[in-house]
């Protein structure tokens, strides 16, 4: 068992949500290098196609049916077994994309360097170490076919190490396989050094926003694909998702050995350095699929639909858009991926950069992930991933450096809206205040408050 480790890694995360909006400040016109922010996004012409615009060759890999034969054991899954074969239905793409939540579905330690910035420019930063015990030994396929509703899927031990006032706070997440007969998604156990006690927490509602964060619990934990109906909208080529400001054109990431490496912003690729299918200009070909809640599974769900941009090889989601009950775009999740578990091939991708934008209050949250693969012994599983372990205040991974943003000006830009793409499917209605902040941001190449 590892000894107690004193850590000092800083991050980017948490914020007190303010119940009002402040109009954007007028940004000065900036010349020179800052104009390069938009040049990467322009001049490429139309990158997207609807299904009707696809060629016969492009349609050859697609199965456009919305109803297919069903699995004999799980009627809410298709008869063809995961990971499926060409041609793919939209439902199969949705199931493949569900393999890639915010935190990996394999044994590892996740170092989450995170931060949140409000529309007034208040920045809070934090870091969390998250040992992950993933129970299905056969991976996501076994999670689909080899687990029963009510069985555990994972255990996450979230250990806060920064800022100092949060040092030692811990939360144990216990996630379950769900269906209509067993609807509990999560058990939560929290520990505070001040109280020296472990408290069991009530299960949060799926639409509840994480504390001081732009994302909801459903955004964090992922959604079960069978709770939605799926259809293909078309294809697109993405070149940028998470965009760096002109004030910070480098970042620090964690390599496979846990070392911290500085890299230039231009060297951050959407699917990591070894992705085989980049276009000649560095883009990633994506399928664009729409998920709408099934009333028999998600009655009165807080979203009317979700649109995913998933790469055409692994089906990793690079962009996720969420629409409220009135059909308006209210939330964007922009991501970059990396193949952090090469032994799993196309199933070994996970999130490297994650940016969440709640457009209703203009709140931004971001994470940088470090992934250290782990093989937990039976004793590790029994001791580390139990509520009582948190009282020991032992950290299972020692971060080795201090990484902080100097100001909110160094935070990532709000995601591109790409208003021209799929206009009949995407209803974008923004307040004048938010429109002003976006315009000022694009002119300045950084967030403007």
Is position 1 within any domain? no
Domain that includes residue 335, residue range:
32-444
Is position 22 within any domain? no
Q: Confidence band (pLDDT; 50, 70, 90) for 30?
A: very low
Is position 26 within any domain? no
Q: Is the pLDDT of residue 436 over 50?
A: yes
Encode pLDDT of 94-103 as tens digits. Answer: 999 999 999 9
Q: Is the pLDDT of residue 9 over 80?
A: no
Q: Is the pLDDT of residue 40 over 90?
A: no
**Are 334 and 316 within 8 A, CB to CB?**
no
Average pLDDT on 396-418 reads 82
Is position 181 within any domain? yes
pTM, full prediction: 0.89
Q: Is the pLDDT of residue 26 over 80?
A: no
Q: What is the pLDDT of residue 261?
A: 83
Burial class (CB in 10 A: 0-12, 13-18, 19+), 273: exposed
Is position 21 within any domain? no
Encode pLDDT of 230-240 as tens digits. Answer: 999 999 999 99
Q: What is the pLDDT of residue 402?
A: 52
Average pLDDT on 152-169 reads 92
Number of structural domains the chain divides into: 1
Encode pLDDT of 347-388 as tens digits. Answer: 999 999 999 999 999 999 999 999 999 999 999 999 999 999
Q: Is the pLDDT of residue 3 over 90?
A: no
Average pLDDT on 67-92 reads 97
Encode pLDDT of 304-331 as tens digits. Answer: 999 999 999 999 999 999 999 999 999 9
Q: Is the pLDDT of residue 411 over 60?
A: yes
- Which CATH number does the domain housing residue 323 bear? 2.50.20.10
Measured between alpha carbons, how far is 82 from 244 in angstroms, rounded to an integer?
36
Q: Confidence band (pLDDT; 50, 70, 90) for 399?
A: low
* Lowest-pLDDT range of 28-37, 162-171, 180-189, 302-311: 28-37
Full 3-state SS string of the chain: CCCCCCCCCCCCCCCCCCCCCCCCCCCCCCCHHHHHHHHCCCCCCCCCEEHHHCCHHHHCCECCCCCCCECCCCCCCECCCCCCCCCECHHHHHHHHCCCCCCCCCCEEEEEEEEEECCCCCEEEEEEEEEEEECCCCCHHHHHHCCCCCCEEEEEEEEEEECHHHCCCEEEEEEECCCCCCCCCEEEEEEECCCCEEEEECCCCCCCECCCCCCEHHHHHCCCHHHEEEEEEEEEEECCCCCCCCCCCEEEEECCCCCEEEEEHHHCCCCCCCCCCCCCCCCEEEEEEEEEECCCCCCCCCCCEEEEEEECCCCCEEEEEEECCCCEEEEEEEEEEEECCHHHHHHHEEEEEEEEEECCCCEEEEEEEEEEECCCCHHHHHHHCCHHHHHHCCCCCCCCCCCCCCCHHHCCCCCCCCCCCCCCCCECCCCHHHHHHHHHHHHHCCCCC
Q: Is the pLDDT of residue 91 over 90?
A: yes
Q: What is the pLDDT of residue 251?
A: 87
Is position 7 within any domain? no
Encode pLDDT of 240-293 as tens digits. Answer: 999 999 999 988 887 777 677 888 999 999 999 999 999 999 999 999 999 999
Is position 231 within any domain? yes
Is position 50 within any domain? yes
Q: Is the pLDDT of residue 21 over 80?
A: no
Encode pLDDT of 75-87 as tens digits. Answer: 999 999 999 999 9
Q: Confidence band (pLDDT; 50, 70, 90) for 166?
A: confident
């Amino acid at each position: 068992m590892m000894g107690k480790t004193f850590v000092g890694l800083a991050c980017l995360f948490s914020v007190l949500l303010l119940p009002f909006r402040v109009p954007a400040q007028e940004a000065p016109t900036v010349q020179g290098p800052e104009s390069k922010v938009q040049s990467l996004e322009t001049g490429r012409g139309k990158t997207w196609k609807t299904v009707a615009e696809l060629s016969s060759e492009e349609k050859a890999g697609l199965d456009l049916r919305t109803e297919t034969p069903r699995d004999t054991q799980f009627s809410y899954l298709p008869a063809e077994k995961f990971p499926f074969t060409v041609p793919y239905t939209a439902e199969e793409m949705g199931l493949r994309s569900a393999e890639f939540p915010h935190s990996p579905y394999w044994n590892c330690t996740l170092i989450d360097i995170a931060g949140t910035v409000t529309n007034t420019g208040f920045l809070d930063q934090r870091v969390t170490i998250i040992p992950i015990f993933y129970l299905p030994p056969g991976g996501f396929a076994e999670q689909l076919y080899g687990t029963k509703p009510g069985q555990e899927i994972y255990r996450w031990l979230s250990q806060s190490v920064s800022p100092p006032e949060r040092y030692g706070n811990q939360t144990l997440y216990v996630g379950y396989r769900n269906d209509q007969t067993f609807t509990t998604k999560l058990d939560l156990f929290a520990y505070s050094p001040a109280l020296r006690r472990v408290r069991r927490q009530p299960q949060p509602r799926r639409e509840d926003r994480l504390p001081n964060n732009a994302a909801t619990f459903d955004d964090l934990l992922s959604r079960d694909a069978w709770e939605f109906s799926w259809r293909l909208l078309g294809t697109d080529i993405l070149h940028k998702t998470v965009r760096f400001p002109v004030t910070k054109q480098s970042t620090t990431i964690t390599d496979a050995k846990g070392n911290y490496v500085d890299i230039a912003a231009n060297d951050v690729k959407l699917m990591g350095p070894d992705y085989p299918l980049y276009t000649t200009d560095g883009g990633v070909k994506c399928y664009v699929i729409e998920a709408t809640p099934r009333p028999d599974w998600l009655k009165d769900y807080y979203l009317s639909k979700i649109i995913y941009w998933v790469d055409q090889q692994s089906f990793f989601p690079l962009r996720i858009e969420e629409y409220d009950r009135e059909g308006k775009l209210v939330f964007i999740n922009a991501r970059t991926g990396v193949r952090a578990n090469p032994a799993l091939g196309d199933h070994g991708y996970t999130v490297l950069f994650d940016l969440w934008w709640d457009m209703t209050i203009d709140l931004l949250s971001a994470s940088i992930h470090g992934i250290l693969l782990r093989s937990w012994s039976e004793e590790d599983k029994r001791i580390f991933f139990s509520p009582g372990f948190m009282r020991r205040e032992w950290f299972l991974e020692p971060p080795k450096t201090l990484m902080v943003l100097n100001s909110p000006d160094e935070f990532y830009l709000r995601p591109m809206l790409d208003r021209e793409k799929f206009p009949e499917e995407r209803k974008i209605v923004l307040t004048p205040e938010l429109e002003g902040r976006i315009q000022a941001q694009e002119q300045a190449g950084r967030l403007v408050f």
